[in-house]
Each structure stands twice: as structure tokens, then as C-alpha cells.
Amino acid sequence: MIITEDDEKEIAQLKVRLSKEFEVKDRMMRRRLLSSRIEISHGSKGIVLSQRKYALDLLSETGMLGCKPAATPIDQSFRLSAEAGEPVDRERYQRLVGRLIYLSHKRPDISFAVSVMSRYMHDPRKGHMDAVYQILRYMKGAPGKGLRFKRSGHVNIEGYCDSD
């Protein structure tokens, strides 16, 4: 949980209330790597949540660290079909798309493309894998993109959950 507030006294009171109900560890750091996956950068302009290291690791593991970056995460000329093209290694495809799904939580710019690719997890084809590589090439252009919360008088974060 990240607590942001201008009033230090109010933060302290909230921590006390939380510690009565939950086991709480207070980690006041300017920059923190959570499980080597989510990077939190705190500066004068606000807070940035990113997964730069995770993205770079993914590019390195797929051999795409030296690739030419793409301008968009999904090419409009791609015409994907469930049965068209040669089948590809399903486990590799599922692993890549699964890692991209995890990455898309902090990268809304790839969320749509990743959701399209996740439709083909059961029977991936060469065109689907090419589209996944397009997403990876796009990420190469800015691996540190993430969610930025500007510093202002008030921080309003709303969350929605649609579950059955």
C-alpha cells in the first residue's frame, strides 16, 4: 500500500490505525524495487510506478534487446485469424503473453494489444507470435513507461472491480 498525503500527522495516525488491524511494515524509501518487478520512483513532480527492469529482462530473454523499436504496440495492418498460419510453440506463446499481461498492469499503452493476443492462447499461430513481437518492439522504445501520479494538493485514486 502506498500512502500519499501532505499532512505527516495524518499519515502517522493512519499507520497507527492500520497497525491495530494488520501486520504493518513501514518502508519509507525514495526508490524501491518490489519483488524486482515494480519500481516506485518518488520525486518532486510526483510518483511513478513502472516495471522497467521487468520489461528489460523480458526483452533480453526473448533476444529482442537489440531490436529496432516500433512506433505502435499493434499494427493496424495485422489481420489475425484463429486458424490462419503455422502453429507455434504454445507454451512459449502463453509464457510471453502471460508476462505481457503482468506488464500491462503498469503499462496501459499495451493493454489493448495484449488483450487481443490473449484471445489466441489456446492455439497460437505464427501471425499471433509476430503480433506479440510487435508489442515487444514497441516496449523497446520506452521500457520505463509506467503510471505517473502528479504531485498536487490532492491525490484521488479510484479503483473498480468487475467480478462475478
pLDDT at residue 163 in the model: 61
pLDDT of 28 > 70? The answer is: no
Given a cut of 50, whether residue 33 has pLDDT beyond it is: no
The mean pLDDT of the chain is 81
**Tens-digit pLDDT profile for residues 42-72:** 777 888 888 888 999 999 999 999 999 999 9
Give pLDDT tens digits for 69-92: 999 998 777 777 777 778 899 999
As a whole number, mean pLDDT of residues 98-107 equals 90
pLDDT of amino acid 40: 81
Which of these, 70, 129, 65, 121, lies nearest to 98 by C-alpha position? 121
Q: Per residue in 129-141, pLDDT tens?
A: 999 999 999 999 9
Specify the pLDDT at position 32: 43
Per-residue model confidence (pLDDT) at position 31: 43
- Cross-strand pairs, 148: 48
What is the model's pLDDT at position 58?
Answer: 92
Burial 70-89 (b: 16+ CB within 10 A, else e): beebbeeeeebeeeeeeebe
Please state the pTM of the whole predicted model. Answer: 0.69
